[in-house]
Amino acid sequence: MLDINVYSVINSIIGACILIILCFFLEKLVIRGTITNTIYFFAVPFLLARLLFPFEIVDRTNFIQVSKFLPSIIQFFRAEILSLPFPVFGLHISIHMATLLSFWLSFISILKCLKVVSTYYNLYVRLKYISSSRDIRTLKILAYIQEKNNFKFSARIIRNKFVDSPFEFGFFKQTICLPSIDYSDEELYFILAHELYHFKSRSNWLKLFNNLLAAVFWWNPLVSLYNASVTSIIEISCDEYATTGFNDHLKAKYLACLLSELGQRQDKKKSQSIHFLSPDKNSLSKRFRFITGKRKKSKMLCGLSAFIIATTFFASYFFMVLPYFDVPASEIQTPEFTKENSYIIRKEDSYVIYFNNEPYIYLECFDESFSDLSIIEKTN
């Protein structure tokens, strides 16, 4: 049986964080060329599933109870900030730290998601009215790459002085944006092959998903780092495709082309240029390491990595981290019942002993040891 509660949601985030940490290790293996990038992307649906299905498997979950820090944190969030003195529609409304925090987190997440969507939309609007390039040389190279790789989708090329570095855009119709630079045939081939593979691999959808994930979980630094990691691996997978069959000389030229693009991007002022959610600059060093490294895939490591991802995903459902609140000593201290602080309410055959106006003991039959206390009859 499945159940959702606050702690199962918290533990789903913990499980997702563990998968993200695994992805960081996988990224290093991909850069070294030891495993394929497919294994890295294999973790993405598991990460998504862990976040979308924050269930607890009842009676199968093992609880890890934490007595330090976590109870204090929970107590802090349970603290009542504001309580209305009068009921509203019969409800007593009180605001806790957790309520305030969840509203604040949600509000910022919504703003960030809107920012991501508006960035995409603004770029779409800016590119919509720019006419396609009619440069025959560029179109010939584009057609050559499409025919060579059997790409069945069409792509349009835009050249504009406000584009600071090549990028591709579009979920259903691909647009490749190039700066107004006179590229050589070789450079054009490198750039177009790289950008076309972005569309072929549908990496734009993954980028969009990751940007939205980073917007929703903006408060989690691991998710931001994961977003940068995924962006790097997407670029690396396109580089791998674009440099298939290249010798060292051609690889060096490809890297020189990448470097020259980075230099041009740094020359232009950011506000004056069209750029598409600029990727992490550190990803360039990773791409260099990948292209220049010897790629010897290990099938065993690929299989083991996939196994570890799947195992971690399923295992994360079988344990939960919970706070441990020990019972306060005052709660189990034997009270002294006197006529001033205690009384008994009798309802039919049962008795409830009240201590300091709070129900304290329930008796199915009267106990003579409480005979000193006054008895109040309660009828329905």
Q: Where does this chain touch another protein (CB under 8 A) — which range of 5-13, 103-111, 153-161, 176-184?
A: 5-13
Beta bridge partners of 62: 319
Residue 304 near another protein by CB under 8 A:
yes
Residue 248 near another protein by CB under 8 A:
no
Residue 349 near another protein by CB under 8 A:
no
Q: Residue 101 carries which side chain, given as an amino acid letter?
A: L
Residue 22 near another protein by CB under 8 A:
yes
CB of 11 to another protein, least distance (A): 8
What lies within 8 Å, CB to CB, of 191 at 6+ separation is: 166, 176, 178, 183, 257
What lies within 8 Å, CB to CB, of 249 at 6+ separation is: none
Six token digits for residue 280: 């992490």
Six token digits for residue 328: 């306060």
Q: Residue 376 carries which side chain, given as an amino acid letter?
A: I
Residue 324 near another protein by CB under 8 A:
yes
Residue 256 near another protein by CB under 8 A:
no
Nearest-angstrom CA–CA distance, 322 and 63 = 7
Of the candidates 194, 175, 284, 232, the residue with the CA atom closest to the CA atom of residue 27: 232
Of 34, 37, 133, 174, which lies in the binding site for another protein, with binding defined by CB under 8 A?
34
Residue 40 near another protein by CB under 8 A:
no
Of the candidates 23, 19, 25, the residue with the CA atom closest to the CA atom of residue 49: 19
Residues 58-97 that bind another protein (CB under 8 A): 58-59, 61-65, 71, 74-75
Of the candidates 164, 126, 135, the residue with the CA atom closest to the CA atom of residue 272: 164
Q: φ and ψ at 227, to 5 degrees?
A: -60, -45
Residue 315 near another protein by CB under 8 A:
yes
Q: Where does this chain touch another protein (CB under 8 A) — which range of 39-47, 116-124, 244-252, 298-306?
A: 298-306
CB of 220 to another protein, least distance (A): 19
Residue 170 near another protein by CB under 8 A:
no
360: which DSSP letter? E
Residues 129-168 that bind another protein (CB under 8 A): none
- Do 233 and 239 form a contact (C-beta atoms < 8 A)? no
Collapse the DSSP code of 91 into the 3-class scheme (helix H, G, I; strand E, B; otherwise coil) and give the result.
Answer: strand
Residue 345 near another protein by CB under 8 A:
no
Number of residues that bind another protein (CB under 8 A): 57
CB of 5 to another protein, least distance (A): 4
Nearest-angstrom CA–CA distance, 244 and 251 = 10
Residue 330 near another protein by CB under 8 A:
no
Residue 301 near another protein by CB under 8 A:
yes
> For binding to another protein (CB under 8 A), which residues are involved?
3, 5-8, 18, 21-22, 25, 28-29, 32, 34, 56, 58-59, 61-65, 71, 74-75, 298, 301, 304-305, 307-308, 311-312, 315-316, 318-320, 322-327, 331-332, 334-335, 352, 359-364, 367, 369-370
